[in-house]
Chain A
Amino acid sequence: VSDELDEVRRYVNAIAPPDEETMAKVKSRVGAARATRGIDPDRSGPSRRINAVRWAAAVVVVLAIGAALLVASLGHHGPAKSMGAHLQDRLTRLVVDDVSVTVAAGSYDMTFTDTTTPATVTPTTPCAKESGGQGVLVGPGQQSTGTTAQPCWAQTAPPGISSSLSSISGHGTVDTNPYAMVTESNVGSLGPITLYDNGTNVWEIGGGDYGLSAPGQVGPGAPLSGYAGSVEGTVGQVQGALDMEGLASGTGYMDLEAREIQGTQPAGTGSVDGVPVTIYKLSESGLLDPNIGGLTSEQVSTIRAADAIIKSSGFAGKTTWVSVDSEGYIREQKTQYTLPDGSMVTEDTILSNFGCAGTVLMPGQAGTSAPSANCVSPDTAGATGTTTPSTGSMPQTSTSMTATPSIPPTTVAPTPVSTT
């Protein structure tokens, strides 16, 4: 007869350990706690008591509101949320936590490719590259190599959008606290554009030279909200408003915010830069909340103006696939949406070098941009990264990038500006 305690031990040891997904959730939650609280060594007894009193008061208020809502809901509705909605809420919270983890890293590099597919499609249009002309725009999954005639999108641009602007790629660096972003993009016939954004002012070097006091003179920059006119006039009003939401989000191109997310579904697994990721598919309104804390007045007014345009346009929302690694860092964000004019936009942003991307300096700003020599990012990627198609339904693309994008000092600014 075996000892019952041995039996208990055997039984407990036979319980399967938590799977990778569960461990990823744990790390994500701890990372979120790290982001929301961080180091707080000064917490003392009295402050805890004060906090406890505050919490108690808050709980009373919440309970009162909850009771009122419950009474109201009993009068009008049946059961509360379905289990499916409950799961979606949980997944959404997870993704929001992951955004917090990524933002809490302090900085990251990014590469991005935005493609606009015009609404008008002529399947038989040859896709040969015209001599001396712009590269031929192709649809997702299509090839543009060689001169063999093949079905592709026509080059007819939708009203307000120049076909030469239909594909934008670039790279950049984002600091999250304080917010500062620099990107270098290749924008069709406009050529390279370097954009600096600190949440209040913008400097566009190249393109329309917005924010420059004179060609070659960077000056103090110009208000972020005023940049909307330039962007919307170039890429179209709704597309421009969506772009401005990203610029005003405080997270650069990773403009994910809780209120914007309308639904979240698991979308399989994959890898980005060789790092295993879990992929979530989000439905987003495209609208940001101007009332969340930490935004500058310029960001608030920019978001409000962009929200108004998006709402009035009948914009149907965005679908975004977010790839999150086991540490909770968002490695890739891929977004697709259709503009009211029927053109389809695909945006792909790959993030890397979390916490070690250095300090972004605005034009004329003094300081050191290089990260500390001891800084080690959780990245384990090599120099070239590719996005491995996931097992989910994420659009299958491949993106070449450098692991550590470097923005060279601009040739326009009189003061040398450098980032990483």
Chain B
Amino acid sequence: MSDNGASAKSSTDAVVIRQSLLDPRSFSLIVERHATSIFRYLVCRVDRSASEDLLADVFAAAFQARDRYDASYESALPWLLGISTNVVRHYQRSEVRRGSMMRRLTHLNRRSIEVSEAIDAVAVTAELHDEMLSMRRALGALSESHRQVLVLSAGLGLSYEDVARTLGIRIGTVRSRLSRARRRLRELLAADGQYQEYDESVQPSVAEERQT
């Protein structure tokens, strides 16, 4: 492994994943490269504590599925984000089921597990100033699909194509969804006092909306 260590570090994700079929330990390079991005994506979807557990689930699932990785994609980030999306979906379903079962079992008015509350538990590095708090509230109030596309595109810098690949939707859908998400986000931020004026120019065109 060490012989290949130096070259592996400069290799594309596709090459590293292929190498990991023969030398499973080299997969740790994929973990090192993308753990932070995946973690931030998870934190934007569920609370930080759950993200810490789910991060391991994501990479364990990725490791087990690495023989099916499409080597035509150099970066594994969209692939990993796609796995993350599925892991989060599975987690949220199980949480809902668990919450429902707990209510039935205990007859307690247990608080429902809602994404907006989970988002409220996002932790960031420094003290959040007002704008960040406002953004957190606004993201938390967005629909799941809008939040996903915003975080992937603007937050993690994925191209429209990669966002489409991550979410399994068409590029046109990504554009229109992002446009609507931006508009909704601005509305929420404006309502929160961050934006005093609403910029009409960011509204999506009718044609763009119909593209989906």
Chain A interfacial positions (CB closer than 8 Å to B): 1, 4-19, 21-23, 25-30, 32-34, 37-41, 43, 74, 78-80, 90, 327, 374, 376
Contacts and interface: CB of A to CB of B under 8 A. Distances in A.
Contacts, number: 130
Interface stretch (B8-16, B27-35, B71-79, B81-89): B27-35
A41 B67 contact: yes
A123 B95 CA distance: 57
Given A15-B125, A41-B21, A80-B105, A33 B64 contact: yes
A12 B40 contact: yes
A41 B69 CA distance: 12
Q: Is the interface of B mostly helix, strand, loop or mixed?
A: helix
Interface stretch (B151-159, B160-168, B169-177, B204-212): B151-159
A8 B40 CA distance: 12
Contact of B35 (A18, A79, A90, A374): A18
A11 B39 contact: no
Contact of A12 (B27, B59, B63, B156): B156
A34 B125 contact: no
B91 interface: no
Contact of B63 (A8, A17, A33): A33
A145 to B, nearest CB: 42
Interface of B: 1-3, 21-22, 24-25, 27-28, 31, 35-36, 39-40, 43-44, 51-53, 55-57, 59-60, 63-64, 67, 102, 105-106, 122-126, 128, 131-132, 135-136, 139, 150-151, 153-157, 182, 185-186, 189, 195-197, 199
A8 B124 contact: no
A34 B52 contact: no
B37 to A, nearest CB: 9
Contact of A15 (B21, B44, B150): B44
A90 B52 CA distance: 12
A30 B185 contact: no
Nearest to A376: B2
A90 B49 CA distance: 13
A21 B106 CA distance: 33
Contacts of A28: 56
A19 B43 CA distance: 13
B60 A33 contact: yes
Nearest to A90: B53
Given A1-B199, A79-B106, A14 B132 contact: yes
A78 B139 CA distance: 38
A28 B53 CA distance: 12
Contact of B124 (A4, A16, A27): A16
Contacts of A18: 35-36, 39, 51-52, 55
A22 to B, nearest CB: 4
11 contacts: A1-B195, A1-B197, A5-B150, A10-B135, A11-B135, A12-B155, A15-B44, A18-B52, A22-B56, A27-B31, A41-B67
A29 B60 contact: yes
A19 B56 CA distance: 13
A266 to B, nearest CB: 13
Q: Which 10 pairs between the two chains have the least Cβ-Cβ distance?
A: A12-B155, A29-B56, A5-B154, A8-B154, A17-B36, A376-B2, A29-B60, A14-B124, A18-B39, A34-B24
